[in-house]
Amino acid sequence: MGGTGFRLGAVCFDNPVFLASGPAGYGIEYSGLIDLAGLGGIVTKTITLQPNPGNPGVRIRETPAGLLNSIGLENVGSSVFFSEKLPDLLNAGVKPVVSLAAEDWDGYTKLLEVTAAQTEVDVVEINLSCPNVDMGGMVVGTDPSQVSRYVGRAKEILDAAVLAKLTPNVTDISVLARAAEKAGADGITAINTLVGMDIDTGSGAPVFHRVKAGLSGPALLPVALEAVWRVSRTVDVPVVGVGGISSVEDARKFFMAGASAVQVGTAIFYDPGLPMRIVDHIQKR
């Protein structure tokens, strides 16, 4: 598994196991269930410049092998996050990776400037791939030139390591990965959710207000593994594998596929002990 530590740019982590953005909220919510300080770090809920109420209507739907979500990047906004949420994480001994996204270019630039003023933030994950918003998200993340533009802007403004989180909802994710690396990304996170939907058989209407939603959980594992395999053989920067990890064996597969680190997401809803079991397994090898 390549040792117990993980390095991203100039930043070193004690181990390569993280909580993925989304399921863990701002991170501190799991302080009573997971040894947060024992992880490599936590990727926070995605933060936008202004508070975002998220999508209306149904937001979560279970499937036979995963979870559909249409949260829509609900969050408290950068001001509250940096003044209230981030200090809680730091006080708990957590290494934060701050997930960032914006709906337009000006808002994105302002968000980066606000983030750059936070001296405690030394790693960010640029969410280029959320399927649950109308602007930004996959509108940006499926276009290599836009991926390059957004990653490049982050590198211009931030004195921090930058992870580019990519969508699998394209023909060839390696094209996006090359664009991100060329623009200066210190690492690639692969992957975000797959686009899916569900229908209410009683009404015959889509379950979600936006019709489509993002699929996570065990069903995502084979797709994520193939993406990590492909991306890790395309770029020279570290690849962080995420998608469908529900056991230590699943995490091992990601490392074998070429990942330098892993993120655990949906599984913490029903197995919060899993991330630390993965850490323990790595440290015993």
Does residue 95 lie in a domain region?
yes
The predicted model scores a pTM of 0.94
One-letter identity of residue 116: A
CATH at residue 277:
3.20.20.70
Which range of residues forms the domain containing residue 169? Answer: 6-54+73-194+218-284
Does residue 120 lie in a domain region?
yes
Q: How confident is the model at residue 139, as a pLDDT?
A: 63
Q: 226: Cβ–Cβ under 8 A, 6 or more apart, which residues?
A: none
Residue 104 pLDDT grade (very low, low, confident, very high; cuts 50, 70, 90): confident
Residue 62's DSSP bridge partners are 67
Does residue 204 lie in a domain region?
no
Does residue 208 lie in a domain region?
no
Does residue 59 lie in a domain region?
no
pLDDT digits (tens, 9 = 90+) for 150-165: 999 999 999 999 999 9
- DSSP code of 170? S
State how far Cα 239 lies from the chain centre. 12
Whether the per-residue pLDDT at 76 is higher than 60: the answer is yes
Residue 136 pLDDT grade (very low, low, confident, very high; cuts 50, 70, 90): very low
Mean pLDDT of 60-87: 96
Percent of the chain as helix, strand, coil, to the nearest 5: 35, 20, 45
Does residue 63 lie in a domain region?
no
Q: Report the number of distinct structural domains present in the chain.
A: 1
Q: How confident is the model at residue 138, as a pLDDT?
A: 54
Residue 140 pLDDT grade (very low, low, confident, very high; cuts 50, 70, 90): confident
Does residue 189 lie in a domain region?
yes
Catalytically active residues are 130
Q: Which structure tokens are listed for 261?
A: 């680190």
Whether the per-residue pLDDT at 121 is higher than 80: the answer is yes
